[in-house]
Each structure stands twice: as structure tokens, then as C-alpha cells.
């Protein structure tokens, strides 16, 4: 990696990044140029980044290329742009895919984490000037979720980064910048699972297991996990799952089975697969009168949810959530503190540790359902 001299103004740097050139094709390690941080931005030396299923889904299905994926990331501030007062060079940070400006209607409402200024970025560009900070031989390389952490260095808006305790292990807490936090928040912030309740979780990946953990910590009496991978049954018990259903083994509809197991339907059901058909099944599986379904997954195809209106007339509700309702700057430090105090489990979600050069192996492990979270470590 080549860098500027020790002048005040940061300069462009060159580093390695895993670049996706076409949908579904193996990522290629490339030399990329990373621009200096612009006003209110910071440039981060990525220490580690984990692979999330939405990275896989976007790589397989989207059309914006060349692109650097990755959004669950932790690193160290390398330089700061004009006007940045919250961060200093050397700070440990999490990069987050949805920001918190602190002054828009949603940030001020106390009801939402959907920042109107720094919300989900879908054009592959920076929030501030709608340009990229990556290039190869002068040609732009697009961002993903305004994070793009499959690179040794990246630039993010300072509102999309959270300063963290320097004692917190970056290779573990990076999971709190998306999947693990989303699952815990769905159980706590969105559903507000109560003690003694019955819960069903569809999809036992990182998000689903984090939902189960959140429900267990709230005192749920019954937590049913539904997955097509029987290998997940034993692992799920660690996170609080009391009953496991392999939906491929059933000879009757899943909602009938769950209603029988729960005496009429679960109090709470969670869709953590990214399949709108599963969202409908989850809605059918919760109790009449008060059953709540929370959908967390991001579907690759068929984004429309279909459900008979009678389900809603019976008193059921369907809610969606982004990042479990957490405001990143306001809330993530307390989650990290909970992890440091051993109040929540994160380590058990990390099944593989690989180098950035092994990123295609990581994608294949996730595609085949052989990992929960694979953490990618940057070269020393």
C-alpha cells in the first residue's frame, strides 16, 4: 500500500480490494485508488469485515458493476475530512449501512431509525456528492451500502460510523454493524417480546439465531426454529431455540404444525430468510387476536408480500424493520458494552476466519449454507 507523506491534507492511496465485475462471477483482487475523505467523511483502514447474506444476494442479482461489496465492518480511522469533529485519526470504529444525522425528522422523532439524510444508499455512490471514492485506472468503482468494506481502505460519511471502545475485539463486534444487531433489535425494539411468550423464527442464520437469543433473554417460554438445514438444530439450542422444525420433512402445512405446538399460533413470528412466501407463512403461523409477524429478510425475487385480508381482520399484524430499529450512533455503544459484559453472545456466530484473499471461498461457504458468519481479516 502506498500512501501520502505526513502532510496535513490526506491524499489518494492505493490498496487491495475484492472487486465484483459481473453478477455472480468470482470477485477479483485488484489495486484500487481510494480518494481522500471529503467534507464530513472519514477514511478507514479496515481491520476485518464479515460476509452478510445481503452481500451475497446483491452480488448474485444486481446490475451495478464494477463494485466493492461488504458492509459489516470494523476498522481504524486513517484520516478525516473537513468539518469532522467526532472522530480522530486512530479511533476504532464500526461502519454502518444506515446512518444517523441527528437532525432530520426521523432522527428527531424518537419513533424511527430511518434517517432521511443518511439512510440506505442504493446507487453505489456517496451520500454527499453522488460520486464514488474508488477507482481503477481512473474509472469509477461503485460502492455498496455506502460502506464497501471488501477493501483494505474505504471512505464513509462520518454519520455512518460509530466510535467504539478500543478494547472491544474488532473481529467479533463487526457482526453488530448489521446481522447480529438486527436480530436482537427485532426481538427487543420491534416485537418487544414478553416473558412467557411463544416465538417462531423462520431461518436460523446469524439474524434468526440473534432473534432467538433476544427472545430467550426476554424470557420467552417457547422458541421454535424453522430451517431446511438439519445441521442447525443442535447449534440453535445454544441461542435459546427449544424446538426445531425441518420444513422439508413436513407432510402438512407449517402453520398447522406451529398452531398445534403453540395451542393456536405463536405470539411472535419472525421471517429471517429473505423470502416473501415465508413472510406469508410466518403471518399464518402467529396467533389470531394479537399475533405479530416481523420480517427482516431481503428478498432477491418477488418483493411483494401476498396475504389474505382475513389474517389482518383477525387481529394479526405484520411489521418490517431495518437494522432492528437501532439508531447506530445512539444505540450501538450500549450493545457493544453488553457484549463486553458477556450479556449477549457474538463469538458463537463466527464459524470461519479467512483472509481477504479467500473471499470467494467465503461466498461459496455462505451460498452452500456451511457458515453463519465468515470474518475476513485484512493483510497485516
Helices (H), 133-191: 170-173, 179-185
Model confidence over 69-108: pLDDT tens digits? Answer: 999 999 999 999 999 999 999 999 999 999 999 999 999 9
Paired residues of 42 in beta bridges: 80, 156
- Are 187 and 296 spatial neighbours (Cβ–Cβ below 8 Å)? no
- Are 356 and 378 spatial neighbours (Cβ–Cβ below 8 Å)? yes
pLDDT at residue 2 is higher than 50:
no
pTM: 0.95
Q: Rg of the chain over CA atoms, in angstroms?
A: 21
pLDDT value of residue 302 = 87
pLDDT value of residue 145 = 95
- The CA distance from 275 to 298, in Å, is 7
- Residue 102: closest CA among 89, 91, 86, 90: 86
Residue listed under C-alpha cell 440506505: 120
- Mean pLDDT computed over 320-334: 96
Q: Kindly report the three-state secondary structure assignment for every residue of 242-311.
A: CEEEEHHHCCCCHHHHHHHHHCCCECEEEECCCCHHHHHHHHHHECCCCCEEEECCCCCCCCCCCCCHHH
At residue 6 the predicted structure's pLDDT band, cuts being 50, 70 and 90, is very low
Pairing relationship of beta strands 134-136 and 92-95 according to DSSP bridges:
unpaired
Determine whether 265 is exposed, middle or buried from the number of CB atoms within 10 Å of its CB (0-12, 13-18, 19+): buried
pLDDT value of residue 12 = 96
Please give the full DSSP string across 25-36, using - where no structure is assigned: SPPEEEEEEEPP
pLDDT value of residue 338 = 98
Say if residue 66 is preceded by a cis peptide, omega within 30 of 0.
yes
pLDDT at residue 118 is higher than 50:
yes
Residue listed under C-alpha cell 431461518: 203
- Mean pLDDT computed over 108-116: 94
At residue 322 the predicted structure's pLDDT band, cuts being 50, 70 and 90, is very high
CA 170 to chain centre: 16
pLDDT value of residue 369 = 87
At residue 179, the 3 state secondary structure works out as helix
Give the lowest-confidence range in 28-42, 87-101, 292-306, 339-353.
Answer: 292-306
- The CA distance from 326 to 100, in Å, is 10
Give the DSSP H or E segment for 351: strand 350-355
At residue 61 the predicted structure's pLDDT band, cuts being 50, 70 and 90, is confident
pLDDT value of residue 4 = 40
- Mean pLDDT computed over 3-16: 74
CA 83 to chain centre: 28
- Are 11 and 34 spatial neighbours (Cβ–Cβ below 8 Å)? no
- Residue 10: closest CA among 39, 46, 31: 39
pLDDT value of residue 301 = 83
pLDDT at residue 196 is higher than 50:
yes
Q: What is the mean pLDDT of the chain?
A: 95
Model confidence over 233-265: pLDDT tens digits? Answer: 999 999 999 999 999 999 999 999 999 999 999
Cα torsion angle, 49, 50, 53, 56, sign: positive
pLDDT value of residue 5 = 39
∠ CA 252-256-260, nearest 5°, is 120
- The percentage of the chain sitting over the pLDDT mark of 70, rounded to a whole number, equals 98
pLDDT value of residue 27 = 97
- The CA distance from 269 to 358, in Å, is 36
Amino acid at each position: 500500500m502506498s500512501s501520502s507523506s505526513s502532510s496535513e491534507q490526506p491524499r489518494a492511496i492505493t490498496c487491495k480490494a475484492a472487486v465484483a465485475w459481473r453478477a455472480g462471477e468470482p470477485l477479483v483482487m485488484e489495486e484500487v485508488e481510494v480518494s481522500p475523505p471529503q467534507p464530513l467523511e472519514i477514511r478507514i483502514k479496515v481491520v476485518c469485515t464479515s460476509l452478510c447474506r445481503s452481500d451475497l444476494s446483491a452480488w448474485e442479482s444486481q446490475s451495478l458493476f464494477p463494485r466493492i461489496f461488504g458492509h459489516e465492518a470494523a476498522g481504524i480511522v486513517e484520516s478525516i475530512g473537513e468539518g469532522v469533529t467526532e472522530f480522530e485519526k486512530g479511533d476504532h470504529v464500526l461502519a454502518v449501512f444506515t446512518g444517523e444525522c441527528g437532525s432530520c425528522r426521523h432522527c428527531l422523532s424518537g419513533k424511527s431509525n430511518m434517517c432521511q439524510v443518511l439512510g440506505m444508499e442504493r446507487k453505489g455512490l456517496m451520500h454527499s456528492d453522488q460520486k464514488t471514492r474508488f477507482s481503477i485506472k481512473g474509472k469509477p468503482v461503485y460502492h455498496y451500502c455506502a460502506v464497501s468494506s471488501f477493501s483494505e481502505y474505504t471512505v464513509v460519511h462520518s454519520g455512518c460510523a460509530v466510535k467504539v471502545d478500543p478494547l472491544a475485539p474488532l473481529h467479533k463486534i463487526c457482526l453488530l454493524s448489521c446481522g447480529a444487531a438486527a436480530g436482537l433489535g427485532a426481538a427487543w425494539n420491534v416485537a418487544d417480546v414478553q416473558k412467557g411468550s411463544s416465538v417462531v423464527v423462520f431461518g436460523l442464520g446469524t439474524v434468526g439465531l440473534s432473534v432467538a437469543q433476544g427472545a430467550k433473554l426476554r424470557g420467552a417460554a417457547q422458541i421454535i426454529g424453522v430451517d431446511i438445514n438439519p445441521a442447525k438444530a443442535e447449534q440453535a439450542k445454544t441461542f435459546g431455540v427449544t424446538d426445531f422444525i425441518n420444513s422439508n420433512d413436513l407432510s402438512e402445512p407449517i402453520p398447522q404444525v406451529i398452531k398445534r405446538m403453540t395451542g393456536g399460533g405463536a405470539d411472535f413470528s419472525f421471517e429471517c430468510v429473505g423470502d416473501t412466501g415465508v413472510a406469508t407463512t410466518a403471518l399464518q403461523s402467529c396467533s389470531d387476536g394479537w399475533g405479530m409477524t416481523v420480517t427482516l429478510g431481503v428478498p432477491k425475487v418477488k418483493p411483494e408480500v401476498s396475504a389474505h385480508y382475513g389474517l389482518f381482520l383477525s387481529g394479526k399484524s405484520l411489521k418490517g424493520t431495518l437494522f432492528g430499529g437501532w439508531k447506530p450512533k445512539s444505540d450501538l455503544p450500549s450493545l457493544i458494552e453488553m457484549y463486553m459484559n458477556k450479556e449477549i453472545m457474538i463469538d458463537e456466530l463466527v464459524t470461519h476466519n479467512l483472509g481477504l484473499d479467500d473471499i470467494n471461498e467465503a461466498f461459496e461457504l455462505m451460498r452452500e449454507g456451511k457458515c453463519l458468519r465468515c470474518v475476513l481479516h485484512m493483510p497485516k
